[in-house]
């Protein structure tokens, strides 16, 4: 049973381009969470999704950021018109969906904006 | 949801010594979890303690929970170099919110 898979592992974009980060949850997990981490800081919650639904997006910036978790396929975190301040590690986690269930994390995508 | 606050922010000890980290939170919880993060990697779940439990063990890890004081502690006994990492607590909620963590360094 593969763990949470994130790709790409590293992503380099120029200012103004789009970044698409993908996350495949563990088999049988229907809940996905996205977090952002700046160097030497903790993880900041961005968004919580179930299949085809956004449950909580209180941590998402109001502009340029969007997330989806379609019925088929991975969850996607999309950042439009990237700026240097978007450079960070983005982690995805999944759970079975029971409240307070432990999270399983992917290895993250390191986004660098030039 | 609420965020746990870890203390100290950084801890450096000699290999073989015990390491204790603390976590405080603000509102009532059903459970509390501890996670570890090695540099550049995702978080790894260590242990979950429920509100009706006072202490829980897992290998060299011992976690306590005091719901009256809204605090938890994580003790790592007989530390090893491989324990060098950041440690985060997460008070139970539908979505887990993480604080700044405790950066633990084990010196050989």
> Which of B21, B42, B56 to substitute to test the interface with A, most A CBs within 10 Å?
B42
> Which of B43, B45, B48, B97 to substitute to test the interface with A, most A CBs within 10 Å?
B43
pLDDT of residue B39: 87
- Position with higher pLDDT, A101 vs A20: A20
Q: Residues 6 or more apart from B49 whose CB is under 8 A from it?
A: B31, B32, B33, B55, B56, B63, B64, B65, B72
Tokens of A42: 């903790």
* Chain B positions in Cβ-Cβ contact with residue A55 (cut-off 8 Å): 94
pLDDT of residue A53: 93
Structure confidence at residue B11 as a pLDDT band (50, 70, 90): very high
Measured between its terminal Cα atoms, the distance across chain B in Å is 39
Tell me the pLDDT of chain B averaged across its residues.
Answer: 93
pLDDT of residue A99: 61
Q: For B45-74, how does the pLDDT look when each residue is reduced to its tens digit (9 = 90+)?
A: 999 999 999 999 999 999 999 999 999 999
Q: For A6-53, how does the pLDDT look when each residue is reduced to its tens digit (9 = 90+)?
A: 999 999 999 999 999 999 999 989 899 999 998 878 889 999 999 999
* Chain B positions in Cβ-Cβ contact with residue A48 (cut-off 8 Å): 94-95
* Chain A positions in Cβ-Cβ contact with residue B48 (cut-off 8 Å): 102
Q: Centre a 10 Å sphere on the Cβ of residue B42 and count the other Cβ atoms it contains.
A: 23
What is d(CA A49, CA A69) in angstroms, rounded to the nearest whole number?
Answer: 7
What mean pLDDT do residues B29-47 have? 92
B88 part of contact set with chain A, CB < 8 Å: yes
Q: How many CB pairs under 8 A join A and B?
A: 54
Q: With 60 as the cut, is the pLDDT of residue A100 above it? A: no
Tokens of B71: 């605090």
Q: Are residues B94 and A4, on separate chains, in Cβ contact within 8 Å?
A: no
Q: Are residues A42 and B33, on separate chains, in Cβ contact within 8 Å?
A: no
Instruction: Out of B31, B35, B98, name the one closest to residue A100 (CB).
Output: B31
Name the residue of chain B whose CA is nearest to A56's CA: B95
pLDDT of residue B1: 67
């Amino acid at each position: 049973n593969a763990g949470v898979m994130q790709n790409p592992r590293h992503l380099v974009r120029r200012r103004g381009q789009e970044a698409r980060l993908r996350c495949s949850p563990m088999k049988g997990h229907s809940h996905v969470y996205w977090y952002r981490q700046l160097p030497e800081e903790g993880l900041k919650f961005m968004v919580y999704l179930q299949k085809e639904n956004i449950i909580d997006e209180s941590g998402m910036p109001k502009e340029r950021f969007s997330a989806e978790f379609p019925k088929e396929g991975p969850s996607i975190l999309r950042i439009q018109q990237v700026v240097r301040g978007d450079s960070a590690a983005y982690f995805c986690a999944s759970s079975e969906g029971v409240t307070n269930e432990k999270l399983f994390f992917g290895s993250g995508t390191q986004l660098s904006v030039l | 949801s609420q965020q746990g606050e870890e203390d100290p922010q950084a801890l450096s000890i000699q290999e073989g010594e015990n390491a204790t980290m603390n976590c405080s939170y603000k509102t009532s919880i059903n459970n509390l979890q501890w996670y570890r993060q090695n540099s550049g990697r995702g978080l790894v779940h260590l242990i979950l303690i429920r509100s009706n439990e006072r202490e829980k063990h897992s290998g060299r890890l011992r976690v306590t929970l005091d719901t009256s004081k809204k605090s938890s502690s994580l003790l790592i006994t007989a530390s090893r170099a491989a324990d060098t990492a950041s440690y985060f607590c997460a008070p139970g909620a539908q979505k887990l919110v993480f604080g700044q963590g405790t950066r633990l360094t084990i010196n050989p």
